[in-house]
Structure 1
Amino acid sequence: MNRSVVIQELETKAKRKIVISDIHGNLDLYLKLLDQISYKPNEDCLILLGDLIEKGKRNLDTLHYIMHQVQNEDVHCIMGNCDFIAKNVLYSYRLDFLKHVLGFRKESLIHEMTRKLNFEITHNSNMANVCQILRKHYLKELCFLNDLPHVLEDEDHIYVHAGIESNENFGTDFKQVMTHPFFLETNVIFKKNVVVGHMPVTEYCTHIASFDPIYDAKHNIYSIDGGNMVKYGGQLNALIFEDNTVKMDRCDFLQERKVVHDVKYHTQIPFFITFNHGNIQILEQHSIQSKVYCPYNNRTFWVENEFVTKDMKAYDYTNYEIPLKKGDTVKEVFAYQDKVQIKKNGILGWTYRSNLE
């Protein structure tokens, strides 16, 4: 298998370039976002930063829809690490690993394909035979994903799923550009703006968590993955370049709730526990809350037990009580005890149930 990084030049005459990342088989939300931003086929240029599939409930439908867009509109895609599953099937590559992934990832393109063919993948399945059957019936779809470039580049921007190594060398292996960890923490100053997805932006938050795109002006990086299909409060983000302006829009299917009481800002030191750095040590455990220590944040705090996982994490917990005004609309993320984790304008926090209609 050729593992070199495939770079393509992006050619478009569109005035508006729209970048969306990590759709993850969530076709309904993708269509809602396109409608929300008034996407105009063949007037706008649409750039999809990979992870088109996996984790959502409509992976095959999403793939077919995007394939149609690429064929008929000014739409350009790059490969994400989740899209790599097509290579596993096409080349019968690392089949034990593929079976392992499909064992816990029930929402997958491969499961949808096999169900369409009236069979299921189990721990007894011969994966070589499964791949042979899928190549026979879904070769066009698998080849579309397999042939996606890893990097798109134009005069002002570099578009890649996870990150690049440097200005001179984007990467010597495609795994580098599809799985680059914590790209926003790089020390490299890029000559062009680099636009990436892959890592939910909340993973870079330690105080107040926001799901909106992050722009690092020092290093010229836009990170835009809103955690769609990965986070309870996740959203699908669109980054829009038009003339000399940059705008964003967001979309989710979270339930809207009306605020019925004013909530003033309380003096506090907010903190947020991420997934990657969410390991905790339980110091005291009670029926409702536990006293825990998070080494990464160097914080000891009381946390509701609903946030403590079996693998000793407390990720996506925030102590930030969002200020509210009566009549505001917020999004409900997670209700627990007498509180509700909410999202307001992309920012995660909590409030008491009694403050919501």
Structure 2
Amino acid sequence: MAKYYRKLKKQVLDLPINKRIIFISDIHGNYDLFSKLLKKIYFNSNDYLFLLGDIFEKGNNNLKTLRYVMELTKSSHVYPLMGNCDDIYFRDIVNIRSEEMFLNYALVKGHSVINEMAEELNIKITKDSNVKELCQIFTKEYSSIIDYLDTLPHLIETPYFRCVHAGIIDENDDNAYDLMHVADFLKTNKLFDKYIIVGHYPVINYQNQIPSFNPIIDKVKKIISIDGGNNVNPYGQLNALILESIESMNFYYEYLDDFPTINVKLTTNPNNENSINITHHDNQIEIIDKKEDYSVCKHLSSGKILNVFNSDIYFKNNHYHCHFGTDYQLKVNKNDKVSLLNKLKEFSLVKKDGIVGYIPNIFV
């Protein structure tokens, strides 16, 4: 995607030092999980809630989620900001960037707010649709949503932390593009004077050995990355980073995912020497032996041989890649409750405390 200009909008806040502060990012139209997560953490009117962008897109309830957030923000303690997916309104509807891109969202990607608007208005989008006319209709019929999104900041500044969707490259740049798009911000060499709290880049992509979807807190750089890969990674979760109070500066987190739970029958104690987690930017594989539900694959950059579910394999640019791949075996205890993510004849892929791995089926 070519870099475009979006004028930076900054919101400056002061906060009480004795209130609970919650950070959630990358809801991606998953209304059910978002509302359940708020209930799980007992969100209430005394809390301060920061939503770090990508409120919608990629989910099945994009408009419902957005309208719910609009309702929440009637409370003075809820502060959403703009993510790159939320910016679709201004890139592809208000300012038509590309008719081809618009139709790609509607006809190829799917799970888009564009599809939901068309469905609500009983409009069928085809490759021959008049995109300019459609955008004019959407802009008129959804003017209140567009006006609301136009108020969202790209950066929220407090005396104690800063919130952006993706990261900060140049603090003097008035273009908000990087704040919404920069990838792997945790790898920056910069040190900040107060915490920068971000989403956008699923944290599992920082993990080369153990597949963890949990928030990462870098106390040296003062960066906290919280995107749990909800609606992006096939086994992702929605994270809530919680600051007990500014007074304490004690962070912890809760999460939810969409998977069924099962109880573990026996304790495992696997040996995970030299385990691998295949990350998004290094996910090219070679299929050695394709079976009914999975394939024996070689990870090209590491040379490791591992099993990958066929549902997680895709073909792009003349090569095979995987959305997820690991040989990590999860340590579990008898009576643990785990999320069941996928299952083979002999092994199951499960998640415990935000960490994913295999366990033998005799244990579940």
Question: Per the shorter chain, which TM-score range?
Answer: over 0.9
Deviation per residue, 1:50-84 (Å, 9 max, x gap): 00001111111111111111123411111000001
Match of 1:252 in 2: 257
Match of 1:353 in 2: 361
Residue from 14, 20, 25 that aligns with 1:16: 20
- Tell me how far apart the structure 2 counterparts of residues 68 and 315 of structure 1 sit (CA, whole Å): 34
Q: Secondary structure at the match of 2:224?
A: strand
- Tell me how far apart the structure 1 counterparts of residues 328 and 199 of structure 2 sit (CA, whole Å): 26
Match of 1:240 in 2: 242
Residue from 143, 147, 152 that aligns with 1:143: 147
Answer with 211-220 or 13-22: which moved more.
13-22
Matched, 1:84 2:113: no
Q: What is the CA distance between 1:267 and its match in structure 2?
A: 4.9
Answer with 93-102 or 51-60: which moved more.
93-102
Percent identity over the alignment?
34
- Tell me how far apart the structure 2 counterparts of residues 190 and 229 of structure 1 sit (CA, whole Å): 30
Residue from 94, 100, 104 that aligns with 2:98: 94
Residue from 38, 41, 63 that aligns with 1:60: 63
Deviation per residue, 1:62-118 (Å, 9 max, x gap): 111111111234111110000011112122333321222222222111211111111
Match of 1:278 in 2: 283
Which amino acid in the other structure matches residue 148 of structure 2?
F
Q: Secondary structure at the match of 1:158?
A: strand
Residue from 24, 28, 33 that aligns with 1:29: 33
Q: Runs of 5+ in structure 1 lacking a partner?
A: none
Deviation per residue, 1:254-309 (Å, 9 max, x gap): 11011112212225321100122101234x335464341321xx233142462543
Matched, 1:69 2:77: no
Q: Secondary structure at the match of 1:188?
A: coil
Residues 154 and 267 (structure 1), Cα distance of their counterparts in 2 relative to 1, 3 Å cut: closer
Q: How does 1:119-134 map to 2 (within 5 A)?
A: 119-134=123-138
- Tell me how far apart the structure 2 counterparts of residues 110 and 58 of structure 1 sit (CA, whole Å): 12
Match of 1:111 in 2: 115
Match of 1:156 in 2: 160
Matched, 1:292 2:295: no
Q: Secondary structure at the match of 2:315?
A: coil
- Tell me how far apart the structure 2 counterparts of residues 111 and 308 of structure 1 sit (CA, whole Å): 26
C-alpha contact 1:189 1:220 (8 A) present in aligned 2: yes
Match of 1:310 in 2: 315
Matched, 1:39 2:43: yes
Q: Runs of 5+ in structure 2 lacking a partner?
A: none
What is the aligned-residue RMSD (CA, Å)?
1.8
C-alpha contact 2:210 2:328 (8 A) present in aligned 1: yes
C-alpha contact 2:341 2:351 (8 A) present in aligned 1: yes
- Tell me how far apart the structure 1 counterparts of residues 43 and 297 of structure 2 sit (CA, whole Å): 48
Which amino acid in the other structure matches residue 264 of structure 1?
N
Work out the number of aligned pairs and report it.
Answer: 350
Q: What is the CA distance between 1:232 and its match in structure 2?
A: 2.1
C-alpha contact 2:272 2:329 (8 A) present in aligned 1: no
Which amino acid in the other structure matches residue 330 of structure 1?
V
Deviation per residue, 1:112-136 (Å, 9 max, x gap): 1111111122111111100111111
- Tell me how far apart the structure 1 counterparts of residues 229 and 305 of structure 2 sit (CA, whole Å): 25
In the superposition, the TM-score normalised over structure 2's length comes to: 0.91
Q: What is the CA distance between 1:352 and its match in structure 2?
A: 1.9
In the superposition, the TM-score normalised over structure 1's length comes to: 0.93
Matched, 1:212 2:214: yes
- Tell me how far apart the structure 1 counterparts of residues 305 and 322 of structure 2 sit (CA, whole Å): 11
Q: Secondary structure at the match of 1:24?
A: coil
- Tell me how far apart the structure 2 counterparts of residues 225 and 352 of structure 1 sit (CA, whole Å): 29
